[in-house]
Structure 1
Amino acid sequence: MVKKKKKRRQLPFRLNILFFVVFLLFSVLILQLGVVQILNGDSFQKEIDRTDQDISKTPVPRGKIYDRYHNVVVDNEPIYSITYTPAKGVQAEDRLDVAEKLANYISMYNDKNKEDKLAAITMRDKKEYWYLKHDEEANKLLTEKEAADMKPAEQYKTILERIKEEEVDDLTEEQQKVILIKKELDKAMTLTPHIVKNEDVTPEEYAKVAEHLNELPGINATTDWNRAYPYDDTFKSLLGSITSQTEGILAEKENYYLTRGYSPNDRVGRSGLEEQYEELLRGRKEQIEYTTNKNGEIVDTNVVVEGQRGKDLVLTIDMKFQERVDKILREELKKVIQKHPYDNRFVDDALAVVMNPKTGELLAVSGQHYDREKGKFSNVAYKTLYDQHRPGSAVKGATVLSGYQSGVITPGQTFYDAPIKIKGTPEKGSYNSLGSVNDLDALKRSSNVYMFYIALRMGGEYNYQYNQPVTFHKEAFQKMRNYFDQFGLGVSTGVDFPYEGTGYKGPEPVAGNLMDFAIGQYDTFTTMQLAQYVSTIANDGLRVRPHFLKEARVPSASEERLGAVFKSVNTDVLNRIEMSQNYIERVQEGFRRVYQEPRGTAYTEFSGKDYNPAGKTGTAENEVYKNGNQYNTENLSLVGYAPFDDPEIAMAIIVPNTGVDKGDHVNNKIGERIMDTYFDLKEEHNEEAE
């Protein structure tokens, strides 16, 4: 019997299809791996090794400020500083950890400011601290259902609101110290150094932090700087100030500064020349490129722009002269006060501006205020630009020139000086009846009546009769003011300072007020305006811009010498008064007679001076209101220049509110001593130069 062959069992068709599909899938996978390795391997490896480059800008010290003889007026004083530069991806928990460690080495307050610093910690600060220390417990204050309907910021806010105040009321002093430090760390921007503490950092704190930097990520112990003033308060109110590190840029100018490359915590000029010349003083920040990996860790640093401290300023001020002018004002003001010790309603300020009338260079600008309660003086030089006073007869040079140019008087014309009365108004006159006076006598002897006639004629009244009404064209007020404007009286002087007053213009254009205006007893002016006015007369009618800055210099590597000149300030002629040179010379001669001829109102102080001075005195009636009462007092003023034939110094002085007949010619005495001092110092400087 033949055996049948056993039939081979074949795989089902479906299983074959499955194997085939698996084969195809493996083939595709192998192909894809090949593509990844061969074609895209380099790009994927780069992604693994990817780094980011970021630029950090580090502030540099400000430029220094010097006087005209290169004496340091404002310097940079190095101080210890603790800074924090956070890396990318730093979280609140990380900053808290750093703050807790840093609290072991520094304190954010001292015995004097401890209460104020701790009081600055808000309830929100405390709750945020508690949240970080009790995150699991805090998160339970919000249900999952509530959280699902909220954005992360809303969740956080709600949790803080639900943390009970009693949870944070018993925080220890050490915990509050941590909160204060963390508040500063929170202000830091990524990869940008932020000062955590630079006030009162002790050598011990500095050393401890420096020793433990390895456990304080982002923290550095370095040096910062503060402004130092070798001349103490002298001229300081005009130098101005800068913001502190905690203040940073001024909030009201935030957009202005941020668009110019500043960081929020950069210090900037807050006032005075520090503010005026911020762009020069700020310097060029050091720019450091940080390379970080994808985890935010810094793997490399590179300085791409070297930092350079700000440019140095050389001022026109002579600090030796400035100190002596300050002293003169204090001494002369004190003499008047000592003569009238019980009349404490008046006499507390003396103001002076001294400048070169040809160049506009300000040589000394002084303001001294006496506090009767404290019995001490303070420097208020800014009042020479801010405070506006009636100057009295000091402006009569402008009045006479206005009369010439308008054609209402001619050189040599005379008027009889006797009291004038317009019907329905009080009588007005000079301090005495001076009889017949011409224009030069009117300046020398300070005739009010002569100026009244100029005002009346400019208003259209040529036939004045005692106690009769007058014709008056109101346009005369603006016409005379236009003449005064040409001297800088009533308009901006253009001085390089953030702010200056331009005077108050009286509102009632009537004949009597124009008469008062003509003798400096209606509109008000600043001491700086008066200095520009007399400089314009001294300078043959050329009005120049007064300025504090002489030049800017690039910073030098040597402390012994200044760097190269970056910018020089040249004489800036604003205008020439629209008046004949003969007219100007006529007023100049009148000013010379005031100082140098008998019966001149400044003759007593200036006669016989070899520096050949000229100028004009002034006394203005002024009302003072104190404690609901009105008191009559006087402003004493003086303007002058020297030498008469080739002026190199011009000055303006105002001593406001001296009381009636109590000023003891303090304006003239101050002016005499200032001019004497200037020419004495000139010899000293010449000897030093030789």
Structure 2
Amino acid sequence: MSNKKRKKKAQLPFRINILFFVIFLMFTVLILQLGVVQILNGEAFQEEIDRTVKDTTKIPVPRGKVYDSKHNVVVDNKPQYSITYTPAKGTQAEDRLEVAEKLAEFISMDSEDYLKGITERNKKEYWYLKNKEEADSRLSEEEAADLDNAEQYNTILERITEEEIANFSKQQLEVIAIKKELDKAYSLTPQIVKNEDVTAEEYAQVSEHLGVLPGVNATTDWNRDYPFGESINSLLGSITTQEQGIPAEKEQYYLTRGYSRNDRVGKSGLEEYYEDVLRGRKEQIQYTTTKSGKVVGTETVVEGSRGKDLVLTIDMEFQQEVDKIVREELQAAYKQHPYENKYLTDALAVVLDPNTGELLAVSGQTRDGNEYSNTAYKALYDSHRPGSVVKGATVLAGLESGVISPGQTFNDSPIKIKGTPPKRSHTSAIGTVDDQAALKRSSNVYMFYIALKMGGENRYPFPNNGKASFNTAAWQEMRNYFQQFGLGVKTGIDFPYEAIGYEGESMNRAGLLMDFAIGQYDTYTTMQLAQYVSTIANDGYRVRPHFLKEIRNPGKSDEQLGNVYRSENTEVLNRVQMDQSYLERVQEGFRQVFQEQGGTGFRYYASKDYNPAGKTGTAENAIYENGKEVAETENLSLIGYAPYEEPEIAFAVIAPNTGLGNTYKINHQISSRIMDAYFDIKEERDEEKEKQND
């Protein structure tokens, strides 16, 4: 063997040894690295593998109840079975479809209400999930490159044909209806799938199969229940459905206060105004989930508590009687003069305690043809020309401004301003009257002279066909006096909305201010009129009218009231800046209206033993259709209080658009019957108390 071959053979093992050595070093490094991972970082990596996420979800609770002043339930919570769905984080459309298909085995969603809500898109989304590979193939890679994910998905849906979604079976449609509800759910937030007509069998079936229905739960829900029917429902208001959730225009407001998007909230009336009180405290449940989104544990971290209860000032026995009276009198007025009263569609009444502002009854009745409905909200929403009921404010404006003095007289004869028709009272037999007699007999002319004098016209008697001097500053001066009583301003009532009426243009025409002085210009709501007469009855103290009497914590049982959380105190908004003796003169004038011969209310109230006082009113009101006057009507109004010496109740009534000169005085009929009902109920209750004490 040559030297060259022996040398080459010797080099081969050397190279293999080097290779083995390199491999040995590599394994050594790998082993060392594994040791570092296991020994030094093993625990940290294991924690990462086992890492879970804790999320807290808030479960809605029933709203607080509403009671009347005698602790009768007015708004209750009616429990009902409910099927809900709470998706874990990362739940996909395919997962929801699988749940929907399983859930369809246990509940029925085949009613018209559910099926008619299925849209074409719902059907296409279902078809897509059942035929995903076929559907995706309809979008080429070149097309997809120019579209984002949402655009790709929508394009694919557009290419699903009507024929392909036209023949779904009833069972498939039910699955689609269920999935539609599941799709509304937010992560870890319960979504109602079905609750209005869940049967006991469906509830039991779902309860037994929760293990194969991830995220689904069988529980109880609630709906608002109204034991007294529709009586004051328009004032109580309503709440949103879960489908509606929080209003879009107030989304940020609610979300920053701990609401979820599908929470039900008050959307009108007292439900809206006292939302923060009625909502309650949600139950908070902490979910422990894996990285993949699987729920592995739950814990209640905050116990839920239903909302606090409202106790209203409304007396439902009296309220229902007032509703009955207002409806019966509206029906009677229309039936007696159906042609003349064809524009008479509403009658409104407000009754309150003038000392505290507590609302005892608020009623509105509306006629639509021969159908009648409760529309109590119109007492706050609708404003009308009030007529002569405002003459008390006019006399007080005249006395306080100094343009007339107590007992000053004017002869009630027509006033003719140049270029205008004569302005007169409702009758020519009034004669010479002072301020109190002007209220008693309802003299327009007396009020005209107050308006003229406040405008700077001091001639008396006013020259026939003369030109009146007039300072337009008189408009604001007189309105300032009226506003002290709540006329033309907000009453401050605890309600989401109230109208303040229409303020006519302050023109440089004395005749218009004369119209204002007799309630023939600006418009006011029934609630404003009630506050106005209460202020007179209450010696010039204007108190805020309110529905809330007190707030109560939830009771220990569902049948009992809890302890008082807060009581609503009387709030005096202002004291009119008028001499007490002037107020007393107007109070006496109001008493004469009802109790002395010649008073415009004497016929209806003279025989009453509860010593009433008040003021009648009639205002002309034209009806327009398509910009043209089609009829002349009258607004019949009336305000009052009783007893005269120590008032317990004050009221305002208005029936707009009655026929001209109707002999059936709906305003008197309603008012006298309301006061009779109040004192009759009071007497019955007093007698019952005496029996219980004996």
- TM band (smaller chain): over 0.9
> What is the letter of the counterpart of residue 414 of structure 2?
P
> What is the letter of the counterpart of residue 432 of structure 1?
T
**Which residue is 2:329 aligned to?**
332
CA distance in structure 2 between the aligned counterparts of 1:674 and 1:150, rounded to whole angstroms = 71
8 A Cα contact 1:288 1:303, kept in partner: yes
> What is the letter of the counterpart of residue 135 of structure 1?
K
**Which residue is 1:683 aligned to?**
683
In structure 2, the residue corresponding to 1:656 is in which secondary structure? strand
Tell me the alpha carbon deviations over residues 368-388 of structure 1, each in whole angstroms, 9 at most, x when there is no partner. Answer: 12232xx23210101100111
CA distance in structure 2 between the aligned counterparts of 1:522 and 1:147, rounded to whole angstroms = 69
Which runs of 5 or more structure 2 residues have no equivalent in the other structure?
1-5
Give the superposition deviation at 1:338: 2.1
> What is the letter of the counterpart of residue 90 of structure 2?
G
CA distance in structure 2 between the aligned counterparts of 1:150 and 1:348, rounded to whole angstroms = 59
TM norm structure 2:
0.95
CA distance in structure 2 between the aligned counterparts of 1:560 and 1:12, rounded to whole angstroms = 98
> What is the letter of the counterpart of residue 91 of structure 1?
Q
Trace 1:253-268 onto structure 2 (pairs within 5 A): 253-268=250-265
TM norm structure 1:
0.95
**Which residue is 2:238 aligned to?**
241
Pair 345,508 (structure 1): closer, same or farther in 2 beyond 3 Å:
farther
In structure 2, the residue corresponding to 1:472 is in which secondary structure? coil
In structure 1, the residue corresponding to 2:511 is in which secondary structure? helix
Pair 665,154 (structure 1): closer, same or farther in 2 beyond 3 Å:
closer
In structure 1, the residue corresponding to 2:634 is in which secondary structure? strand
Give the stretch that moved more between structures: 542-551 or 564-573: 564-573
Q: Is 2:534 the counterpart of 1:535?
A: yes
Give the superposition deviation at 1:356: 0.7
> What is the letter of the counterpart of residue 631 of structure 1?
A
The counterpart of 1:184, out of the listed 181, 184, 190, is 181
Give the superposition deviation at 1:18: 3.5
Which runs of 5 or more structure 1 residues have no equivalent in the other structure?
1-5
**Which residue is 1:480 aligned to?**
478
Q: Is 2:422 the counterpart of 1:406?
A: no
> What is the letter of the counterpart of residue 549 of structure 1?
L
Give the superposition deviation at 1:200: 2.1
**Which residue is 2:423 aligned to?**
428
Tell me the alpha carbon deviations over residues 328-347 of structure 1, each in whole angstroms, 9 at most, x when there is no partner. Answer: 11222222222113445232
Give the superposition deviation at 1:62: 0.5
**Which residue is 1:555 aligned to?**
554
Tell me the alpha carbon deviations over residues 571-616 of structure 1, each in whole angstroms, 9 at most, x when there is no partner. Answer: 1111111111111111111111111111111111111323221111
CA distance in structure 1 between the aligned counterparts of 2:217 and 2:28, rounded to whole angstroms = 57
Give the superposition deviation at 1:142: 2.0
Give the stretch that moved more between structures: 528-537 or 428-437: 428-437
**Which residue is 2:3 aligned to?**
none
Q: Is 2:635 the counterpart of 1:639?
A: no
Pair 148,18 (structure 1): closer, same or farther in 2 beyond 3 Å:
farther
Pair 607,344 (structure 1): closer, same or farther in 2 beyond 3 Å:
closer
Give the superposition deviation at 1:199: 1.8
Give the superposition deviation at 1:559: 3.1
Trace 1:133-282 onto structure 2 (pairs within 5 A): 133-282=130-279
Q: Is 2:290 the counterpart of 1:293?
A: yes
CA distance in structure 2 between the aligned counterparts of 1:205 and 1:411, rounded to whole angstroms = 79
Q: Is 2:458 the counterpart of 1:459?
A: no
> What is the letter of the counterpart of residue 123 of structure 1?
E
Tell me the alpha carbon deviations over residues 38-90 of structure 1, each in whole angstroms, 9 at most, x when there is no partner. Answer: 22121112112111101011111110000011000000001121111112222
> What is the letter of the counterpart of residue 388 of structure 2?
S
Q: Is 2:121 the counterpart of 1:127?
A: no
In structure 1, the residue corresponding to 2:180 is in which secondary structure? helix
CA distance in structure 2 between the aligned counterparts of 1:535 and 1:619, rounded to whole angstroms = 20
Pair 108,254 (structure 1): closer, same or farther in 2 beyond 3 Å:
farther
CA distance in structure 2 between the aligned counterparts of 1:245 and 1:118, rounded to whole angstroms = 18
**Which residue is 2:580 aligned to?**
581
CA distance in structure 2 between the aligned counterparts of 1:159 and 1:144, rounded to whole angstroms = 13
> What is the letter of the counterpart of residue 71 of structure 2?
H
> What is the letter of the counterpart of residue 102 of structure 2?
K
Tell me the alpha carbon deviations over residues 14-38 of structure 1, each in whole angstroms, 9 at most, x when there is no partner. Answer: 5444443333322222222222222
Give the superposition deviation at 1:164: 2.6
The counterpart of 1:444, out of the listed 440, 443, 450, is 440
Q: Is 2:508 the counterpart of 1:505?
A: no
8 A Cα contact 1:345 1:626, kept in partner: no
Give the stretch that moved more between structures: 255-264 or 303-312: 255-264
CA distance in structure 2 between the aligned counterparts of 1:134 and 1:173, rounded to whole angstroms = 19
In structure 2, the residue corresponding to 1:554 is in which secondary structure? strand
Q: Is 2:42 the counterpart of 1:41?
A: yes
8 A Cα contact 2:232 2:374, kept in partner: yes
Give the superposition deviation at 1:290: 0.5
8 A Cα contact 1:59 1:266, kept in partner: yes
Pair 150,666 (structure 1): closer, same or farther in 2 beyond 3 Å:
closer
Give the stretch that moved more between structures: 399-408 or 289-298: 289-298
Q: Is 2:308 the counterpart of 1:307?
A: no
In structure 1, the residue corresponding to 2:325 is in which secondary structure? helix
Pair 106,344 (structure 1): closer, same or farther in 2 beyond 3 Å:
farther
Number of positions where the alignment pairs a residue of Structure 1 with one of Structure 2: 679
Q: Is 2:607 the counterpart of 1:608?
A: yes
Trace 1:619-658 onto structure 2 (pairs within 5 A): 619-626=618-625, 629-658=629-658
Q: Is 2:358 the counterpart of 1:357?
A: no
Pair 138,634 (structure 1): closer, same or farther in 2 beyond 3 Å:
same
Give the superposition deviation at 1:629: 4.8
Tell me the alpha carbon deviations over residues 534-571 of structure 1, each in whole angstroms, 9 at most, x when there is no partner. Answer: 01111111111100011111111223421111121111
